[in-house]
């Protein structure tokens, strides 16, 4: 077991259970997630809340999609699922319910291929993925089916969900998200995944076709949304006038302020692409605006309105700026009209800068929910009583060895402070390492800018505690052969 868990003092039942609990707390499970939109999907593998790898269907459809299932789709639907010019999905939201199976076959096959491709690339064995594979779907099919359901006709909604779940199989957790579902997930992520976000903030997720706003107060998270208030111009519709934008944004933003302390709005996601337009022409105040926008500084709404008004005047009559100038002017006018709104953070994209450091990842939030549920479940498990046998002790030791191997050989190939501390157990501040160093001291010497050490650094410096080289399991396959057992007793 190594010095971290094999001392005599650590071999009582209570101490062994404590070691196992501490190791489980940092043995981050691997999760496979698919975010299926209308035009494409993204598939991820997470280790805990850390993204290990991602693949986009739009860039890899020829690898992920099965040719025979695509052919059957085309034969039965009368059109191709994939737009080969850009790799996106063509709209399938209006096909008849008796042909849903051809969509399911294409998507389910591509998810499986994405799963195997990500596992292969990261050298993670498929059986290492300890949770059900998560699929969440939005896009036009969501709008069509949820709209029918809201009007009292659930036939197509029920058929889509039941048959897609059946096609995916018991190993998947699938849900066709409503706008409300999506907005609440983003709201929860915004307030629970960002340490600097408190109840003074209002989050605004502005997508290509819809906008969600979310707040938080004593009663919890809440949200509002507009499924048709997106930042992407519609090819078949005229440019929205400023007054229309003001009406749409006012209906979203004004009711979201519910307590006096709320004073800061954060504009996120696709709105950043619209702000890029403001970098192109010359106008009064541009230098000051660009300085604050690029530095991701909070901006006073009256200042934002002043600069956007100047931008809109500079591009008046220019069709290339009609959509962006009207949208931004309607947005700025709305924010300036809300006395409670004192500050605005504006999203960055492209040459303006990296995206704002605020997470609204529903993927991470779903994982966080699962981890919390697991902790609650473990808290209800009572420790065994009665005589403490040699067999029970050996069983604990085996669990500890498997958890040690899993943590050291995790898919990220790095170890955090909490992981090293848990592995070191009661030796964290004991001088057990070469040169008379404690595990704590050595970690401080080795950690990088991200506050982690590499797997190789562990092996070189901490092998007296536990080592993959001393494990019965080879390094590359360590997660594959230990994960199921390490979590089976959770």
Concatenated DSSP letters of 25-88: HHSPPEEEEEEE-SS-EEEEEEETTEEEEEEEHHHHHHHHS-HHHHHHHHHHHSS-SEETTTTE
Q: Residue 14, class by beta-carbon neighbours within 10 Å (0-12 exposed, 13-18 middle, 19+ buried)? A: exposed
Number of separate domains in the chain: 3
- Is residue 1 domain-resident? no
Same domain? For 129 and 212 the reply is no
- Final residue before a domain boundary, out of 177, 203, 222: 177
Same domain? For 13 and 64 the reply is no
Range with lowest mean pLDDT among 186-200, 201-215, 332-346, 364-378:
364-378
Cβ–Cβ < 8 Å for 346, 293: yes
- Final residue before a domain boundary, out of 177, 208, 239: 177
Same domain? For 42 and 119 the reply is yes
Q: Which domain holds residue 241?
A: 194-358
- Is residue 302 domain-resident? yes
Same domain? For 238 and 354 the reply is yes
CA distance linking residue 318 with residue 314, whole number of Å: 9
Same domain? For 237 and 299 the reply is yes
User: Quick check: 485 pLDDT over 50?
Assistant: no
Same domain? For 214 and 299 the reply is yes
Looking at residue 280, its pLDDT comes to 97
Give CA separation, 465 vs 238, 371, 422, 469, 476, in Å.
Answer: 68, 27, 11, 12, 20
- Is residue 113 domain-resident? yes
Q: Which of 61, 65, 43 is nearest to 52 (CA)?
A: 43
Same domain? For 198 and 331 the reply is yes
pLDDT average, residue stretch 117-122: 94
Residue 2 pLDDT class (50, 70, 90 cuts): low
* Per-residue model confidence as pLDDT tens digits over 253-295: 999 999 999 999 999 999 999 999 999 999 999 999 999 999 9
- Is residue 3 domain-resident? no
Same domain? For 347 and 215 the reply is yes
- Final residue before a domain boundary, out of 118, 152, 177: 177
- Is residue 364 domain-resident? no
Same domain? For 301 and 399 the reply is no
Same domain? For 49 and 12 the reply is no
User: Quick check: 486 pLDDT over 60?
Assistant: no
* Per-residue model confidence as pLDDT tens digits over 151-187: 999 999 999 999 999 999 999 999 999 988 988 999 9
Same domain? For 24 and 34 the reply is no
Same domain? For 235 and 140 the reply is no
User: Quick check: 10 pLDDT over 80?
Assistant: no
Looking up residue 323, the CATH number of its domain turns out to be: 3.30.420
| pTM higher than 0.85 | no
Which one-letter DSSP state was computed for residue 451?
Answer: S
pLDDT average, residue stretch 36-61: 93
Looking at residue 380, its pLDDT comes to 84
């Amino acid at each position: 077991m190594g010095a971290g868990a094999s001392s005599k003092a650590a071999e009582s039942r209570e101490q062994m259970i404590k070691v196992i609990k501490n190791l489980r707390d940092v043995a981050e499970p691997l999760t496979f997630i698919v975010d299926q939109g209308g035009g494409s999907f993204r598939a991820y593998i997470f280790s805990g809340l850390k993204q290990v790898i991602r693949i986009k269907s739009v860039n890899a459809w020829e690898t992920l999609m099965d040719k025979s299932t695509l052919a059957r789709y085309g034969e039965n639907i009368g059109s191709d699922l994939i737009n080969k010019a850009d790799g996106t999905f063509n709209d399938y939201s209006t096909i008849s319910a008796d042909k849903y199976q051809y969509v399911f076959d294409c998507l389910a096959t591509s998810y499986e291929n994405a799963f195997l491709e990500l596992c292969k690339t990261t050298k993670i064995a498929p059986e290492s993925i300890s949770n059900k594979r998560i699929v969440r779907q939005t896009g036009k099919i969501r709008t069509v089916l949820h709209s029918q359901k809201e009007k009292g006709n659930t036939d197509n909604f029920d058929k889509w969900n039941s048959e897609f779940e059946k096609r995916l199989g018991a190993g998947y957790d699938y849900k066709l998200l409503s706008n409300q579902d999506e907005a609440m997930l983003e709201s929860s992520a915004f307030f629970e995944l960002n340490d600097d976000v408190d109840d003074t903030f209002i989050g605004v997720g502005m997508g290509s076709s819809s906008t969600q706003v979310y707040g938080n107060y004593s009663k919890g998270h809440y949200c509002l949304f507009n499924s048709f208030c997106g930042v992407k111009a519609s090819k078949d519709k005229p440019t929205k006038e400023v007054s229309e934008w003001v009406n749409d944004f006012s209906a979203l933003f004004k009711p979201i302020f519910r307590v006096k302390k709320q004073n800061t709005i954060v504009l996120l996601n696709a709105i950043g692409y619209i702000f890029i337009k403001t970098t192109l022409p010359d106008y009064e105040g541009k230098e000051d605006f660009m300085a604050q926008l690029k530095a991701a500084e909070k901006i006073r709404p009256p200042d934002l309105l002043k600069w956007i008004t100047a931008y809109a005047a500079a591009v008046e009559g220019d069709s290339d700026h009609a959509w962006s100038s009207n949208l931004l002017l309607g947005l700025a006018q709305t924010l300036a009209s809300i006395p409670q709104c004192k500050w605005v953070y504006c999203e960055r994209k492209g040459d303006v800068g990296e995206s704002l450091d605020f997470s609204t990842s529903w993927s991470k939030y779903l994982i966080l929910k699962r981890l919390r549920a697991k902790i609650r479940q473990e808290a209800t498990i009572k420790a065994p009583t009665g005589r403490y046998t040699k067999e029970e002790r050996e069983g604990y030791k085996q669990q500890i060895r498997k958890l040690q191997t899993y943590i050291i050989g995790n898919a990220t190939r790095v170890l955090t402070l909490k992981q090293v501390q848990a592995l070191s157990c009661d030796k964290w501040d004991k001088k057990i390492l070469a040169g008379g160093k404690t595990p704590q001291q050595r970690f401080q010497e080795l950690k990088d800018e991200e506050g982690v050490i590499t797997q190789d650094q562990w092996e070189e410096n901490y092998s007296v505690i536990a080592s993959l080289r001393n494990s019965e399991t080879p390094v590359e396959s360590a997660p594959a052969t230990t994960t199921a057992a390490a979590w089976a007793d959770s």
